[in-house]
Structure 1
Amino acid sequence: MWKVVVVALAGLVLAGVGGVALAYPSLAATTCPGCYGLTELSPGVHVEDGLSPAQRERVGEVADQAARRVTAFYGGRRSSPGLLVCLTEACYRRIGGGQERGVAVLNRSVMLSPRGLDPVIASHEMSHVELHARLASSAEVPQWFDEGLAVVVSGDPRYLAPESAPDRCLVAPSGPLPVTLEEWLRTASADPATYARSACQVSRWLGENGGRAGLLGLVTRLNAGEPFSALVRTR
C-alpha cells in the first residue's frame, strides 16, 4: 500500500512540474536552463547552445558591462540574478519570451532576447531585480518609478539625455503615470514615451534628493513602513 501511495505522490509531483513548465516556461527555464537547451557560459550566465566563440564572448561582455552599471549606480549589489540569453527567436520563444527585448522573471532572473543583447537592456532588467532585492516584501513603489529608475540606471539614450545634460528629460511628465503593472503594460504598449516621462520624473527626483543617497534613504523609509506617496512628490 505504501508503494502505491509513493508512486501516486510521485505522479502528482511530476504532473505539477509538467504543468508549471507548460504554463510558465520562463519560470521553468530559470529553474532548469539545461532543460531548455541552455548551457552555462559562466556562473549564473546561461546561453543558447551552439554559439560561436565570438557570440559567447559578446554575451560575456554584455553581462559584465550590465553588472558594472548596476553596481556603479547603487554603490554595490545585493542581487545576483541568473542571466538567460538567446540569440535566436526560436530559443527565446522556447523559454517563454515574447516580443520584448528582455524581461526580469520573478525578480530573480533576467532573460534576454536576440534584440536585447545589449548592456542597456540587460542593466535595465537587472535594475528591477536589484531594487526589489533591497525592498522589504511589504514595501511598494509604483510601476512608473521602478521603470523610470531602470532607465536611469541603464542610461537608455532612447528615453533619457546624457548625464552631462543640464536636464536629462526628453519628454516631460504630463498627468498621472501608471501605478500598477497592469496599467503600465497597457499604457506603455500604446505610448512608448511613457518610459521617457517616467525616467524624467525619476531623474528630476534624484537630482533634487541627493541621487544615490536619496534613493537609498527612500528604500530605508519604505522598508520602515512609510508609504511611497508620502515620500515622493510628483509634479
Structure 2
Amino acid sequence: MNSAPGNPSDFFLDDNTMMNFDFSRATLVISILAAAALSACGGGGGGDSSAPTTPVALTLAVAPAIAPANGTTGADYVPAVQFTASKALAAAGIKLVCDGAAVAGKTTVSDAVATFKADAPGVAANAQCTASVDAAATKDAAGAVFTGSTALTSFTVKALACPGGTTNTPPSFNGATLVAACGNVYIEPAVAKNLWPGIVSGIQTALEMDRKVYGQLQSAQPDVLVCQSGTCADYFAGPRRRNVTLYPNTYAGQYVAPRMTVVLTSPTWTQNPYVLAHEFSHVEVAKRTNGTHVPAWFDEGLATYVGGEPICTNVTGKGIDDLRKLDQETDWVAYTGPEDVFFKTYCQARAEVAAWIGKRGNAGVVQLLDAVRQGQSFTGQYGAMLTQ
C-alpha cells in the first residue's frame, strides 16, 4: 500500500517488513561478535602478530672481569679464578688445569659472578695454569646452559720464597737423593710438589717467631731435611722418628750431619712451623753460646717457649721432681721417651723458662746467652729456679 507523505500509516510496518528488520539486526550483532572474537584471537589483521621473544643466551659478559688476568705471573699457590657472565647464574663450573693436571676445588656464584677456589694445599710453585668455563655445569635460573667461548685465562704461579741458606749437595738415603727445593731445603722425592710452598712458608713463619725473642738472628740458616716415608725418617731422625736438630758431626739415625741440620719427619703436619721454630731456637742458642753447654732443661724449655710446641695448653702436672736432673741432652732424650712423660716434662721446662722471661724479658735471654759464651756460669746468671 502506498501512502502519501505525512500519512499516519508511515509510522507503522507490516509484519513482513518487521521480520526483515529483525533478521538484519540479528545478522549485524553476529557479525560484530565474530569480529570481536577474531580480534581477541589475533586474527583479522587487527591483533598482535609479533613473533615469540627469543631467550637471551648465557655467555661471558661484554666486560667479563676475568681474574687472574691473562698472562699474570706470580699468582697465589692456592689460586682463585673468577669471571662475570652475561646474566645472573644459578650454578657455574670453572675448570683449572695446572702443569697438565686438573686442580680440585669449588665454584660458587653470586649473581652473575662465578668464583673458583682451589682446594688446599693448592698447586706447585711456578705452575703453568689454564682456566676455562665448564659449560655444562654453568646455567641460569631458567636452566639455559652456557654457550659461546669458554676460554678464560692462562697464568703462572709464583716461585718459592726461599728463606736463604747456601745450597749444598743434597743428602741421600738408601739410594734416593733428596730434592733441593730452594736454598738448603731438601725434600724427599715422594713429597708432592704442591706441598713445597707450605713447607717453605712454614720455615719463614718459624724464623719470624724466633726473631720475636732473639731479635736479629746470629745463626746461619740450617739445612732443613723433610721426610715423608718411614724409611727416610729412620735414616735421618732415627727409630723414634722425632723431629730433631743435628749439630755438625752428630747423628740420630744413620745420617751424620756435616752442618747444622733440622729434620722434619712429616711434610704435612699442621704444627710444622712451630716445630721448626722450636728447632731453630736450638740452632740460635748454639750460635750465641759458641757451643758452650747450657742445661738441656733450659735449652728445651726455651725452645718450647719460642715455638709454642709441644702444645702445653691442656698439660697438667710435672714430668720430673727437679728439672736440674736433666742437665745433659742425652739425659733429656732418654727420660722423655714415654709420651706422658714427654709432654709433662717439656711443658714443665717451658713453664720455668716462661716465668724467668716474665721477670727478665727477652733481653735477659740474650744477655744470659752472651754471658755463657764469655765463660760465665749459667747457674750464676740464671739464679734460683722459679717454679720448683
TM-score band (shorter)? 0.7 to 0.9
Local SS of the residue matching 2:321: coil
| Count of aligned residue pairs for this structure pair | 197
Q: Choose between structure 1 and 2: higher helix proportion.
A: 1
Tell me which residue corresponds to 1:112: 264
Deviations 1:8-57 (A, max 9, x none): xxxxxxxxxxxxxxxxxxxxxx9753433201111011101143232112
Q: TM-score, normalised by structure 1?
A: 0.75
Q: Which has the larger radius of gyration?
A: 2
Distance 1:123 1:116, change over 3 A: farther
Structure 1: runs of 5+ lacking an equivalent: 1-29, 162-168
2:267 and 2:195 mapped to 1: Cα distance?
Answer: 14
In the alignment, the residues of structure 2 paired with residue 34 and residue 176 of structure 1 have an alpha-carbon distance, to the nearest angstrom, of 40
The question of whether the paired residues in 2 share the 8 Å contact of 1:120 and 1:154 is answered with yes
Indicate how the Cα distance of structure 1 residues 31 and 176 shifts in structure 2: closer, same or farther if over 3 A, else same: farther
Question: What is the CA–CA distance in structure 1 between the aligned matches of 2:349 and 2:307, rounded to whole Å?
Answer: 14
CA pair 115-54 structure 1, distance change in 2 beyond 3 A: closer
Which of the pair has the greater relative contact order for Cα pairs under 8 Å at 6+ separation? 1
CA offsets, 1:66-113, max 9 Å, x none? Answer: 122112221121221110001222222233533243100116110110
Once residues 97 and 52 of structure 1 are traced to their aligned partners in structure 2, the CA distance between those partners, rounded to angstroms, is 23
Structure-1 separation of matches of 2:286 and 2:218: 10
Residues 97 and 184 from structure 1, CA distance in 2 versus in 1: closer, same or farther, beyond 3 angstroms?
same
CA-CA distance at 1:116 after TM superposition: 7.7
CA RMSD after TM alignment = 2.5
CA distances 1:121-143 after superposition (whole Å, capped 9, x unpaired): 11111110111111124x32100
Which residue is 1:175 aligned to? 321
Q: C-alpha offsets along residues 169-193 of structure 1, whole Å, 9 cap, x if unaligned?
A: 9556863211112221222224121
Given residue 56 of structure 1, which amino acid in structure 2 is its aligned partner? W
The corresponding residue for 2:163 is none
Identity of aligned residues (%): 26
Q: State the partner residue of 2:170.
A: 33
For residues 46 and 115 of structure 1, do their structure 2 counterparts lie closer, same or farther at Cα, with a shift above 3 Å needed? closer
The 1:204–1:133 alpha-carbon spacing in structure 2 relative to 1, beyond 3 Å, is same
1:172–1:200 Cα contact (<8 Å) kept: no
Partner of 1:126: 280
Aligned partner of 1:65 in structure 2 is: 205
Q: Which residue of 1 aligns with 2:381?
A: 231
Whether the aligned pair in 2 keeps the contact of 1:83 and 1:111 (CA below 8 Å) is yes
Q: 1:199 to 1:160 in 2, by over 3 A?
A: farther
1:6 matched to which residue of 2? Answer: none
User: In the alignment, what sits opposite 1:220?
Assistant: 370
Question: Of 299, 308, 311, which aligns to 1:155?
Answer: 308
Give the aligned partner of residue 188 of structure 1.
Answer: 336
The alignment partner of 1:114 has SS state of coil
